[in-house]
Structure 1
């Protein structure tokens, strides 16, 4: 599995979380719901902004699961414990770094999460997570599982019944429309073309590629985005 830049060597500290992901959490219900009934359901999909503090992925998951935007520290510990408990599954080849090193790395609040962390959290909560990338409108699924009962009823709904066709009916298109709207507004960080400044020597670079090249050449790994 390919790892994002911020999980590779050398580690790059961008000092800003990527706000380009929208999460949809599915709770899989064993009670069948017809497509026609689902289409009659009223509701809307909204984007909740999570502070860009390098732990936004964890706090976003904490919000949709527990309505708590300050779960990052706890969820990082969950991930570290899960990885440490199974060094065979979570090998260096899988993680991109030795198991013990990864566990220390993920506990650092300055480090970002990605596909591996979302997969672990989906299993931890027993939920299916759909992460939308606003820039491309791509939807990545984590934690696909068998149907189960017990969806909670919350005011800000983050849990939906899954139909027999594996969609959530009308909400599916609402979510995609929201992603496309955010894409038009460019509500994402274009990591290929954003401008960064080295926090050590103040040299400006463009995109992840130049940042990695600069880090490899100088050993400087502290970057800040600027407009």
Structure 2
């Protein structure tokens, strides 16, 4: 039996539905959605998937495990003008009028773009949200590393050894190495350099960390962090024709939607356990398990370059 976490969108807003499992029935799903949407069970229309298609609500006793529904999906709830007949829906003959209404009501869906785990995922992800184009890390990371290195050197009081964990000039050299990982320091520097707030959805803790928020920048971009890896987030229109990666910093609705993504990912354990993930010291080729061992290895050897395994 698997727990299901579903995002439900209605005309009055959205919320996360918990409590159902793979052993729950279609009848139980309809009852939950009826309560959330304040729509009678007999008038429920549910759309799921991408592009959204009618979800088959026929067969009250059918298990959700057999319905094709999986945890993390978005369900869009609409009300039929007439009681819905419980018949299986053929995707080829779906209600075009309903689909058109959906496209008019929803601006799009917040999605994650997967980028390579090559020690430069932060830089690749940030370039994607700034440009809307996924480029190879070799094209973008060296330039961003140079920005960070120069900023650290030019502001020694702000980026002191206490903040960096190593002498200022040593850190400025270290970050230029293609195998060095970026993190909060790099995000802070790059947010200020590009004049944009960077909102990072932390799926380990189910929170959002915002870099550059105190500068009151007019625009915001989104990244997702799973404990060791960064991916960019973007808004895809319901028509799938274009994407948007830069948003108004005043858009609280999208900020809340990004937070819900983080909470859902945390609930479904879509993050890396930093106490167990495997690393390799790129200076002596020793394999290391977890963050604590990596820190101990760095302290005892002075080695600081680690790669994901």
Question: Normalising by structure 2, what TM-score?
Answer: 0.50
**2:253 matched to which residue of 1?**
170
Change (3 A) 1:79 1:195: closer
Structure number having the greater strand percentage: 2
Q: Which has the higher contact order (CA 8 A, sep 6+)?
A: 1
Q: Deviations over 1:73-102 (max 9, x none)?
A: 111111111122222322222322222111
Q: What SS is found at the alignment partner of 2:144?
A: helix
Which sections of structure 1, spanning at least 5 residues, go unmatched? Answer: 1-39
Matched, 1:63 2:128: yes
* Contact 1:41–1:170 (Cα < 8 Å) also in 2: no
Q: Deviations over 1:158-206 (max 9, x none)?
A: 222243xxxx23322321232233334433221122245667576x654
Q: How many Å apart are 1:223 and its aligned residue?
A: 5.8
* Contact 1:118–1:142 (Cα < 8 Å) also in 2: yes
Task: Tell me, in whole angstroms, the C-alpha distance in 2 between the residues paired with 1:210 and 1:175.
Answer: 32
Q: What SS is found at the alignment partner of 2:111?
A: coil
User: Following superposition of structure 1 onto structure 2, how do residues 106-145 of structure 1 map, counting pairs within 5 Å?
Assistant: 106-144=175-213, 145=215
**1:8 matched to which residue of 2?**
none
Q: Deviations over 1:39-65 (max 9, x none)?
A: x66221101111000010111111101
Task: Tell me, in whole angstroms, the C-alpha distance in 1 between the residues paired with 2:142 and 2:186.
Answer: 13
RMSD: 3.0
Task: Tell me, in whole angstroms, the C-alpha distance in 2 between the residues paired with 1:51 and 1:61.
Answer: 13
Question: Normalising by structure 1, what TM-score?
Answer: 0.66
Task: Tell me, in whole angstroms, the C-alpha distance in 1 between the residues paired with 2:198 and 2:274.
Answer: 23
Query: How many residues get paired?
Result: 179
User: Following superposition of structure 1 onto structure 2, how do residues 1-227 of structure 1 map, counting pairs within 5 Å?
Assistant: 42-68=107-133, 69=135, 70=137, 71-144=140-213, 145-146=215-216, 148=218, 155-163=242-250, 168-196=251-279, 200=284, 205-217=288-300
Task: Tell me, in whole angstroms, the C-alpha distance in 2 between the residues paired with 1:95 and 1:196.
Answer: 21
* Contact 1:44–1:174 (Cα < 8 Å) also in 2: no
Task: Tell me, in whole angstroms, the C-alpha distance in 2 between the residues paired with 1:54 and 1:184.
Answer: 26
Q: Deviations over 1:94-131 (max 9, x none)?
A: 32222211111110010011111101111111111111
Which sections of structure 2, spanning at least 5 residues, go unmatched? Answer: 1-104, 222-235, 237-241
The structure number with the bigger radius of gyration is: 2
Task: Tell me, in whole angstroms, the C-alpha distance in 1 between the residues paired with 2:266 and 2:211.
Answer: 22
* Contact 1:91–1:98 (Cα < 8 Å) also in 2: yes
Change (3 A) 1:193 1:56: same
